[in-house]
Chain A
Amino acid sequence: MKELVEYIAKSIVNDPNAVSVEEETNEEGITLKLRVADDDKGRIIGKQGQIAQAMRTLLRVKAAKAQTRVRLEIM
């Protein structure tokens, strides 16, 4: 899960080195915590949250295949 978010995030921000993703698994599924440079936050979220939404949709495809749930939090 983590690698998918990491690849997308690093490919669209101005400061790829500041991108980090933390992955936690509990009984509810997987939680991904995405951190980027402050200046890149808008780029990751997108207008009306479009980009964050698109990333969540793609994560859901992967989660469905693995029969789990995934949450993406932008910190």
Chain B
Amino acid sequence: MEIPEKHQSVFQKAREVLEKLLALMELPATVEISEEFTVIGPDEELSSIGLNILGEDLGILIGRRGQTMLSLQHVVRLIMSHQSEFKLPIVIDVEGYKERRCQGLRTLAKKLADQVKARRVPFTMEPMPAFERRVIHLALADHPDVLTESTGEGDARKIVITPKRPAVIDLSPLLCYSLPEKGNDGEE
């Protein structure tokens, strides 16, 4: 991926901050540009910086449900915004973990959407971090037959996929029971 000249310094800066943190954590690792999470528009407009960390035994840096990776991302974003007025998202990946997870989530989202469409009943997913919920919302944003929304708070926040046309409950069997007729409830 070719980074336009005018954005190279901000990439360089983000990379230096991340490398500095990794060195202080005494983790031997290298940093490369993540093509998946770097977003450059057609007019060379930059809307996201993606960096991927490579090295041995980096599971410790990913953490449970990617929490450690998110902490690292949080710190890099803070340092960048404080030191360089840089306000765009910076996405930190480790060994392509997030990239694979996102691809898996997109496939899962499509599959679940088909199920919800066929059965016409809502489906509630497992709780997921904000970043992963966003991937699902985006994957199904243009879906013609289902809607997505998040419910719950904090760590328990999860996505519900709802059909746009819910199942129609057939009431016709009830019609064979006739309603009590008017006027019969008076005196005998």
Q: Which residues of the other chain, A, contact B65 by a CB distance below 8 angstroms? A: none
Name the residue of chain A whose CB is nearest to the CB of B73: A54
Interface string of A22-65 (1 = CB under 8 A from B): 00000000000000000000000000001101110110111011
Interface string of B56-99 (1 = CB under 8 A from A): 00001101000110111011001100110000000000000000
Contact B82 A12 (CB under 8 A): yes
| Interface of chain B: mostly helix, strand, loop or mixed | helix
Instruction: Give how many B residues have a beta carbon under 8 Å from the other chain's beta carbons.
Output: 21
| Interface of chain A: mostly helix, strand, loop or mixed | helix
Contact A61 B61 (CB under 8 A): yes
CB-contacts of A1-35 with B (<8 A): 3-4, 7-8, 11-12
Instruction: Assess A54 versus B24: contact at CB under 8 Å? Given A11-B82, A11-B83.
Output: no
* Cα(A11)–Cα(B70), bound, Å: 18
Q: With an 8 A cutoff between CB atoms, is B1 at the interface?
A: no
* Cα(A30)–Cα(B21), bound, Å: 19
Interface string of B20-43 (1 = CB under 8 A from A): 110011110000000000000000
Contact A65 B67 (CB under 8 A): no
* Cα(A36)–Cα(B145), bound, Å: 54
Minimum Cβ distance to chain A for residue B113 (Å) = 33
Interface of A with B (CB < 8 Å)? 3-4, 7-8, 11-12, 50-51, 53-55, 57-58, 60-62, 64-65
